[in-house]
């Protein structure tokens, strides 16, 4: 409630109180003399009853403002990216043996694949001779390749704007 409103109510209350004490017909609060008391036992007295009332209201008031902005910052960072590739190492191993039956199939010894290389030779008797074997070893190597990439970061700025109106505080 505003100060002006309070002052109006207080002065209104005081004014009504003064009226009731100034008007003797309405307010006979003082004691009558002793001789009147005997003769006026049934005299009617008026006593004013005063009541104060409060009226409360609410008002939405802007107390301040906020300004929000966003900046996007771009930073360049180095990222380590592993690149995997395979290399094949082929070793030629001479065998020079004849085979009496069908040619041997491809076989594996650990991570090594062995393929038999055959050659037919014309002899009085035709025989299969193992000339050599290919021993193939599969190796994996890993290289680290550093490449620059751009990463964005958002930053939020909040600025409180003061309200200069004294009635809104």
Question: Does one domain contain both 45 and 10?
Answer: yes
Instruction: State residue 29's pLDDT score.
Output: 46
Question: Does one domain contain both 19 and 78?
Answer: no
Assess whether pLDDT exceeds 80 at residue 33. Answer: no
Question: Does one domain contain both 70 and 49?
Answer: no
List residues bridging with 107 in a β-sheet: 114
Task: For residue 132, give both structure tokens.
Answer: 């050599």
Q: What is the pTM of this model?
A: 0.31
Q: How many domains does one find in the chain?
A: 2
Question: Does one domain contain both 105 and 46?
Answer: no
Q: pLDDT, tens digit, for every residue of 129-155? A: 889 998 888 888 888 888 888 888 888
Domain range holding 135?
A: 66-169
The rounded distance, in Å, linking the Cα atoms of 20 and 46 is: 10
Which of the two residues, 40 and 131, has the higher pLDDT score? 131
Question: Does one domain contain both 10 and 72?
Answer: no
CA atoms within 13 A on the CB side of 38: 2
Instruction: State residue 108's pLDDT score.
Output: 92
Question: Does one domain contain both 151 and 88?
Answer: yes
Question: Does one domain contain both 74 and 39?
Answer: no
Question: Does one domain contain both 107 and 24?
Answer: no
């Amino acid at each position: 409630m505003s100060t002006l409103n309070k002052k109006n109510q207080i002065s209104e209350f005081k004014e009504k109180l003064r009226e009731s004490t100034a008007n003797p017909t309405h307010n006979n609060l003082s004691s009558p003399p002793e001789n009147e008391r005997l003769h006026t036992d049934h005299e009617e007295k008026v006593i004013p009853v005063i009541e104060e009332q409060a009226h409360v209201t609410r008002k939405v008031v802007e107390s301040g403002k906020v300004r929000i902005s966003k900046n996007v910052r771009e930073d360049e960072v180095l990222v380590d990216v592993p690149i995997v590739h395979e290399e094949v190492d082929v070793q030629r191993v001479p065998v020079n043996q004849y085979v009496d039956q069908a040619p041997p199939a491809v076989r594996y010894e650990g991570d090594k694949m062995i393929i038999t290389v055959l050659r037919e030779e014309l002899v009085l008797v035709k025989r299969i001779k193992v000339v050599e074997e290919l021993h193939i070893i599969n190796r994996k190597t890993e290289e680290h390749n550093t490449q620059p990439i751009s990463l964005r970061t958002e930053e939020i700025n909040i600025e409180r704007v003061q309200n200069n109106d004294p009635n809104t505080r």
